[in-house]
Structure 1
Amino acid sequence: MRIPERMLNPPFPASDAMAPVHRARSHSVLLESRSLALGIIGFLLLDQVLLLAMLGLSPLAMGAAATLSAALCAALWRLRGWTGEAAVQPRTFGLLFAGALVLFILGGEGRFVYANTDWQVRYAVLNDLVNHPWPWAYQTDAGPTMLRCPVGIYLVPALVGKIAGSYAAQLALLVQDAALLTAVVALAAPLFAGVVRPWLTLLLVLGFSGLDLIGQLIYGGSALVHLEQWDLMQYTAVVTLAYWVPQHALAGWIGAAFYLSWRAGKMPLAVMLSLVPALALMSPLGGLGIVPFVIAAGLGELFARRIRPADIFLPAVSVALALPSLLYLASGLGGVPSGTSHYPVQAYVLFYLFEVVPFLCVLYLSRGSWNLDRVTLLISVVMLLVLPFGRVGEKIDFMMRVSIPSLAFIAIAMAGVLRSAPDAQDQNGQAARRIAICVFLIGLVVPIGETARAILLPRAPEVHCGYYGVVPGGYSTYIAPYDRMIGAIRPAHPAIVPIREPAKCWDVPWPDAAKPGFPEYVLV
């Protein structure tokens, strides 16, 4: 299935990097787009199987899930519609992996440098998964509770930790995340290989951010802190996502890469549809961000009468495999904050002025130097306009995480404008490029600042505690009462683990570099 060129404006460029599959096989099967895509799906399905182990379901259920996962991957492999499968050369793949390792090391994975305070909770959850028997429940004064959060990023590293210890689990998490990001970039890179080099697009996307520096200065905050917390709302830069919330970032970026591959006619629709339910265990909000694009894609194919039986049956199998994880994540949701958010007019106006309006101006004036089609950009813009008004989870988590795919598409479009060389007669194109350059240079302060703190602040200490040690009492977004777990996935006889945490969860002070002193408005 290929999208007609008239639907792409401009179309994705053709290049030697998207040569027929036999050329890629002369180097390595790992470099084929089909192998990369199904490797990602296979990993996500493995997490579904490991969740059954964590919940103490029977070996028969685990065996059935593993068998069905393998059959689904085999069926997806054999689908018609895989085209232009050559991805990247082996050397390039290795360089991408090295770069991904550096990116996540700077984000605090492996504790080689400073780690943002979010990692206190993340390492504590990993400790519990390593140290407690599967399944387990915490013994609290209010009754037993269970860990109920997106554990997809932790399960494979936790298995490594059960064999080799907690620090081995942390290193496994680092390698796992770097491998996933490498596969995502390698999957998407050929789509942009015809215009300059994909390396330039990648670097421009990594530097993508908004005008947070100006907002921070207006509110009298320091330029040496976490710049993106100057307002009540936040759309997060690419590097910030990698440093602070890699699980959400990876889920959103995986969805974006699959959608772009389908949109360019390089991947069957059934593959993209089969991915979506499996993303939830890594990040339900990050995965949710790609759903509007997938719905638009499915409706377009339906109205064009291009839907095949495989486009319905294979995603249905994926939903069945992901059902335990969806039930797991839905357990005890009554305690999770949700609803709508309202903001002071000043906060709302300034946020959109610095975080959305500049990109709208560039996209409107440039018209034709984007890397993407109008439909994708239109959905992205609408998403960015409406997301601040929704709320699921703590504070502004909904808008920050659901926006990840949309922000990725806007970043790719901005990179296209920055790379373009508009004709001297095209005044709008020239103006768009000048605005894009200014926005990019001001926004570049954010990834530079995040990276500088990672290098200059003290190395992250070891986390000795489990979840309840770092978060006394627990949060409803991570913990659910045992009796509120949905019966189909609730362990029958979990080990009851008393909460005995050390007096100090880390031996040395952990600096909090994320408090710029922004105005304390209250969401209502």
Structure 2
Amino acid sequence: MSNRSIVVFVSVLLFAPALFFAAYLKLAPALSLAVGFAGGLYLIGATRLQADQGFLAAPAKLRELAICTALALVILVVGGETNLFYATYDWRIRDAVLADMVQNAFPVRYSVDGVDYTLRAPLGMYVIPSLIGRGFGLLAAHIALLTQNSLILGGIFYFLKNLGDGWKRLAVMVLFGGLTVIGVGVVVTFVPRYSLHRVFIEGLDAWHPYFQYSSSVVQFFWVPNHALPAWWLAALVLLQTKGEVDTAVIGVSVAGAMFWSPLAILPAVVWLLYLAATDWRAHLLSSRTWWGVVVAACFLPVAVYMTIASSTIAHGIMAEQPNFVALYLFFIAVQLPCLLFLYLNRKLLSKQDRSIFAVNALILLCLPFFGFGPVNDLVMRGSITSLTLIAFVFASTLFKSELSRTARICGWILVVLGSGSALDEVVRNFSQPRYDFSDCSIMEAVSALGGGNAIPTNYLVDSAQIPDWLASEGSAPRSARLRRCWSDYDHHKDGLPAPAAPETR
């Protein structure tokens, strides 16, 4: 078993949901996705850029892979998967999506005030667990979800550990975050509606009114459906800079990961554009590149499905918000001091790391100017791949022997202060009482969270807007009942405002 086999295995887990999704589509889009699945895996498995002498051709270190997978399992369990520990608010909606997909034929439909709606969202993380749940029950679906996610994250950790300075770099990446303790201190002091209890429950990273760049642990605890494809694409970018994979592999992986998170793939798309612009002859004249384009295009039915009525989702230009300039500059200063650290030590970076730093620093500086999603999901999700790559370069620089003593001290100060967000997440999930997962539908969960019959437009779309050529009719519309979904939760009693949207991260 080679390291290339691990790349193929993780790719199967990421691509398979689109293949199973194809079973619920009309013939033409279903065949397109099947070709995309097979073609993508062939292109990834057929990569031979190092004449079978590179890292991917080497035998896999199975003991290290097992340790990485065990580490991933612990992180995800503590983060709330299977509800053995306290699970963050987002899991109350996420559990509802999984329950709906277990209990109903796909596409899942709902009846709200006489209107027929269909579940339209990035469902990649839920598809395989929901299929297992249909045969063995909802508990089996949750166990399958944890198993799937642990295998993917374990593979990611394995590559990040072996592409750098070993376990110490991986540790820095897992603890990586901004100086959110400073941001929290400011808002708790000067903004009356922010209390320490609210910050503790919602997490330190939610301190800013407009934006959020989530620390690594927050990503794993709150949004593994976005974090897993984003971290995987970051690992592939790193493999590409070392000559182990090519643009075709990244391109088809972007297409395959789209069903998991259409926003998390954006930095990888920018990286592909950068490669095409800076070395067009090598990339655009390669036959594999164009085969990659053809295979990636086969995933277009997924793109169509997820962008149906996307204009109904909140969006806009954030620069039009009050006090944008001051709030933006303060946000960047608090969340991205690592960019200044890397810029001041740029002479220590390799050519490849300089490119990674420049491209992703630009992405992170520009993202806050735009808004998309109920709580600006674009900034939160679209930043994950870039944050992962910056964390990798930061950790690499921190352990360079040429780094000055002063710079090393400053770097470790950033690590210690940046880990405050991770510490808050772990302490909260250990100290707060756990609750059982629910079989409520998504509309029942929205109502139980205080949203009434408000339609979560990032999850549901009017069924009439789904093209006739795309999907089958699906299940009969499901009506929501007014019931309490969790014995522990009452949004009025908790003293927290009802969320403006199903997800708060």
**TM-score bucket (shorter structure):** 0.7 to 0.9
Aligned-partner SS, 1:475: coil
Equivalent residue, structure 1, for 2:9: 39
Equivalent residue, structure 2, for 1:207: 175
Aligned-partner SS, 2:115: coil
Query: 469-478 or 183-192: which moved more?
Result: 183-192
Evaluate the alpha carbon distance shift between residue 56 and residue 69 of structure 1 in structure 2; reply closer, same or farther with a 3 A threshold. closer
Task: Kindly indicate whether residue 157 of structure 2 is the aligned counterpart of residue 189 of structure 1.
Answer: no
Task: Kindly indicate whether residue 386 of structure 2 is the aligned counterpart of residue 421 of structure 1.
Answer: no
> Following the alignment from structure 1 to structure 2, what is the Cα–Cα distance between the partners of residues 214 and 378?
26
Mark the runs of 5 or more structure 2 residues left unpaired by the alignment.
189-194, 447-452, 501-505
Q: Is the 8 A contact 1:269 1:311 kept in 2?
A: yes
For residues 361-376 of structure 1, the aligned pairs below 5 Å read 361-370=340-349, 373-376=353-356
Task: Kindly indicate whether residue 83 of structure 2 is the aligned counterpart of residue 107 of structure 1.
Answer: no
Q: Is the 8 A contact 1:145 1:479 kept in 2?
A: yes
Aligned residue type for 1:38: V
Evaluate the alpha carbon distance shift between residue 502 and residue 171 of structure 1 in structure 2; reply closer, same or farther with a 3 A threshold. farther
- The superposition leaves residues 411-454 of structure 1 with CA deviations (integer Å, 9 ceiling, x where unpaired) of 1122123223336xxxxx33322221111111111101101111
> Following the alignment from structure 1 to structure 2, what is the Cα–Cα distance between the partners of residues 164 and 414?
44
Evaluate the alpha carbon distance shift between residue 421 and residue 114 of structure 1 in structure 2; reply closer, same or farther with a 3 A threshold. same
Evaluate the alpha carbon distance shift between residue 469 and residue 305 of structure 1 in structure 2; reply closer, same or farther with a 3 A threshold. closer
> Following the alignment from structure 2 to structure 1, what is the Cα–Cα distance between the partners of residues 347 and 142?
44
Query: 78-87 or 404-413: which moved more?
Result: 78-87
Aligned-partner SS, 1:417: helix
> Following the alignment from structure 2 to structure 1, what is the Cα–Cα distance between the partners of residues 95 and 25?
23
Evaluate the alpha carbon distance shift between residue 508 and residue 143 of structure 1 in structure 2; reply closer, same or farther with a 3 A threshold. same
Aligned residue type for 2:176: F
> Following the alignment from structure 1 to structure 2, what is the Cα–Cα distance between the partners of residues 360 and 187?
24
TM-score of the pair, normalised by structure 1: 0.85
For residues 60-139 of structure 1, the aligned pairs below 5 Å read 62=30, 65-66=33-34, 69-82=37-50, 83-85=54-56, 86=58, 88-139=60-111
Residue 72 of structure 1 deviates from its aligned partner by 4.1
- The superposition leaves residues 41-93 of structure 1 with CA deviations (integer Å, 9 ceiling, x where unpaired) of 2223321121122x3535x8646743663344234423431532236411111
Task: Kindly indicate whether residue 276 of structure 2 is the aligned counterpart of residue 298 of structure 1.
Answer: yes
Q: 2:26 aligns with which of 45, 51, 57?
A: 57
Q: 1:166 aligns with which of 138, 142, 155?
A: 138
Aligned-partner SS, 1:480: strand
Q: Is the 8 A contact 1:460 1:510 kept in 2?
A: no
Q: Is the 8 A contact 1:56 1:134 kept in 2?
A: no
Residue 246 of structure 1 deviates from its aligned partner by 0.4
Task: Kindly indicate whether residue 474 of structure 2 is the aligned counterpart of residue 503 of structure 1.
Answer: no
> Following the alignment from structure 2 to structure 1, what is the Cα–Cα distance between the partners of residues 475 and 204?
43
> Following the alignment from structure 1 to structure 2, what is the Cα–Cα distance between the partners of residues 227 and 79?
42
Evaluate the alpha carbon distance shift between residue 187 and residue 369 of structure 1 in structure 2; reply closer, same or farther with a 3 A threshold. same
> Following the alignment from structure 1 to structure 2, what is the Cα–Cα distance between the partners of residues 287 and 390?
16
Equivalent residue, structure 2, for 1:240: 218
Aligned residue type for 2:445: V
Q: Is the 8 A contact 2:93 2:445 kept in 1?
A: yes
Q: 1:451 aligns with which of 426, 430, 449?
A: 426
Equivalent residue, structure 1, for 2:437: 462
> Following the alignment from structure 1 to structure 2, what is the Cα–Cα distance between the partners of residues 168 and 49?
21
Task: Kindly indicate whether residue 129 of structure 2 is the aligned counterpart of residue 157 of structure 1.
Answer: yes
Residue 317 of structure 1 deviates from its aligned partner by 1.6
Query: 87-96 or 276-285: which moved more?
Result: 87-96
Q: Is the 8 A contact 1:251 1:282 kept in 2?
A: yes
Aligned-partner SS, 1:289: helix
Equivalent residue, structure 2, for 1:11: none
Q: Is the 8 A contact 2:109 2:116 kept in 1?
A: yes
Q: Is the 8 A contact 1:124 1:467 kept in 2?
A: yes
- The superposition leaves residues 258-313 of structure 1 with CA deviations (integer Å, 9 ceiling, x where unpaired) of 11101111113321121111111000011123211121123334244673112112
Q: Is the 8 A contact 1:207 1:447 kept in 2?
A: yes
Aligned residue type for 2:454: G
For residues 345-356 of structure 1, the aligned pairs below 5 Å read 345-356=325-336
Q: 1:405 aligns with which of 362, 380, 385?
A: 385
Evaluate the alpha carbon distance shift between residue 110 and residue 422 of structure 1 in structure 2; reply closer, same or farther with a 3 A threshold. same
Equivalent residue, structure 1, for 2:459: 478
Evaluate the alpha carbon distance shift between residue 365 and residue 88 of structure 1 in structure 2; reply closer, same or farther with a 3 A threshold. farther
Query: 481-490 or 340-349: which moved more?
Result: 340-349
Q: Root-mean-square deviation (CA), in Å?
A: 2.5
Aligned-partner SS, 1:495: coil
> Following the alignment from structure 1 to structure 2, what is the Cα–Cα distance between the partners of residues 112 and 364?
42
- The superposition leaves residues 109-130 of structure 1 with CA deviations (integer Å, 9 ceiling, x where unpaired) of 0110000000000000000000
Q: 1:436 aligns with which of 411, 421, 434?
A: 411
**Percent of paired sites with the same residue:** 26
Matched length: 474
> Following the alignment from structure 1 to structure 2, what is the Cα–Cα distance between the partners of residues 229 and 355?
11
TM-score of the pair, normalised by structure 2: 0.88
Aligned residue type for 2:418: G
Task: Kindly indicate whether residue 112 of structure 2 is the aligned counterpart of residue 140 of structure 1.
Answer: yes
Aligned-partner SS, 1:139: strand
Q: Is the 8 A contact 1:127 1:466 kept in 2?
A: yes
Evaluate the alpha carbon distance shift between residue 306 and residue 65 of structure 1 in structure 2; reply closer, same or farther with a 3 A threshold. closer
Q: Is the 8 A contact 2:96 2:438 kept in 1?
A: yes
Q: Is the 8 A contact 2:112 2:480 kept in 1?
A: no
Residue 515 of structure 1 deviates from its aligned partner by 9.0
> Following the alignment from structure 2 to structure 1, what is the Cα–Cα distance between the partners of residues 367 and 36?
36
Equivalent residue, structure 1, for 2:450: none
Residue 163 of structure 1 deviates from its aligned partner by 0.6
